Amino acid sequence: MRKIWWKILCVVIIFYVIIMGFIGPVPRLAIINESIRNTYFHVALWLAMTTLLFLSMIFSIRYLMKGNIKDDDIGSELAKSAIFFGILGCLTGSVWANYTWGDPWPNDPKLNGAAVGILIYLAYLLLRSSFEDEQRRARISSVYNIFAFAVFIPIIYILPRLTDSLHPGSGGNSTFGSYDFDNNIRRVFYPAVIGYILLGLWIAELRIRIKQINRVREEALIESGRL
């Protein structure tokens, strides 16, 4: 394994984030108190998910331009690991909201947008599973993937800012950077984002390899005439 360094980096960063995330110094703020540590997990997970979805869209575009089935494998597996992160992000946010806003699922535009976003991508998985032919599935779900990303960004990042939301950066609340993001948080938060992105890439990479090995084996079986 020549390219193992980034996996080691990923493990190191994740451990650093977990340890520093729970025992590192954080600013004291009213109401939020210690639960500000959730920034390292919840916010970072969402950012990692958006990055993975963006990469997935890039690979879908590449598939449509070049028609190489490997690009579609990469795109779909990136989308799957992004959905996994999205569900984790929802869960961590929900636990946090339970203690800070007093309700595990407050009626907030950003939360509803997130739920809709996850529904869009679950529909993507459903669409993938409803085709038999590989090339056809790849082309049509790539089209849907690009379309979905273009709708996903307004739902999560633009529409909630137009209305009142409990999340920072919308409805008169200021964004993170302006008041409570001191250097202690930055030192853990940015590595956290990178660490989660690397972890997502790792998960996707393993699944892509399994997929490609399966494809090669199937072809070998067909060629040997046992099918």
Partner 1 sequence: MLLYVVSTVFVCYLSFNLRRNQLTPIVWNTLFWIILLFTAVNAIAKSFSQERHGRLLYYYSLCSPQAIIISKIIYNSLVMAVLSVLGFAIYAFVMGNPIQDNGLFSICILLASTGFASVLTLIAGIASKADNSATLMAVLSFPIILPMLLMTIRLAKNAMDGLDWSVSTDEITTLLSIDLIVITLSYLLFPYLWRS
Tell me which residue has tokens 């599973």: 129
Point out which span in 17-25, 32-40, 113-121, 213-221 binds partner 1 (CB under 8 A): 113-121
If the CB atoms of residues 34 and 134 are measured against partner 1, the closer one turns out to be 134
Residue partners of 7: CB distance under 8 A and separation at least 6: 198, 202
119 is a contact residue toward partner 1 (CB under 8 A): yes
Q: Is there binding between residue 14 and partner 1 (CB under 8 A)?
A: no
The candidate with the shortest Cα–Cα distance to 202, out of 40, 48, 42, 39, is: 48
Residues 64, 60: Cα–Cα separation, whole Å: 6
155 binds partner 1 (CB under 8 A): yes
Quote the DSSP letter at residue 173.
P
- C-beta of 32 vs 146, nearer to partner 1: 146
**For partner 1, which is the closer residue by CB, 149 or 196?**
149
C-beta of residue 94 within 8 angstroms of C-beta of residue 104: yes
Position 142 contacts partner 1 (CB under 8 A): yes
Q: Is 91 exposed, middle or buried (0-12, 13-18, 19+ CB in 10 A)?
A: middle
Q: Around Cβ 23, how many Cβ atoms within 10 Å?
A: 9
SS3 130: coil
| The one segment of 36-44, 83-91, 98-106, 138-146 that binds partner 1 by CB under 8 A | 138-146
159 binds partner 1 (CB under 8 A): yes
User: How far is it, in rounded angstroms, from Cα 179 to Cα 200?
Assistant: 30
* 135 is an interface residue for partner 1 by CB under 8 A: yes
58 binds partner 1 (CB under 8 A): no
35 secondary structure, DSSP code: G
How many residues of this chain bind partner 1 (CB under 8 A)?
28
**Segment contacting partner 1 by CB under 8 A, of 46-54, 82-90, 151-159, 199-207:** 151-159
Judged by the rule CB under 8 A, the positions of this chain that interact with partner 1 are 64, 113, 116-117, 119-120, 123, 126-127, 130-131, 135-136, 139-140, 142-144, 146-148, 150-151, 154-155, 158-159, 162
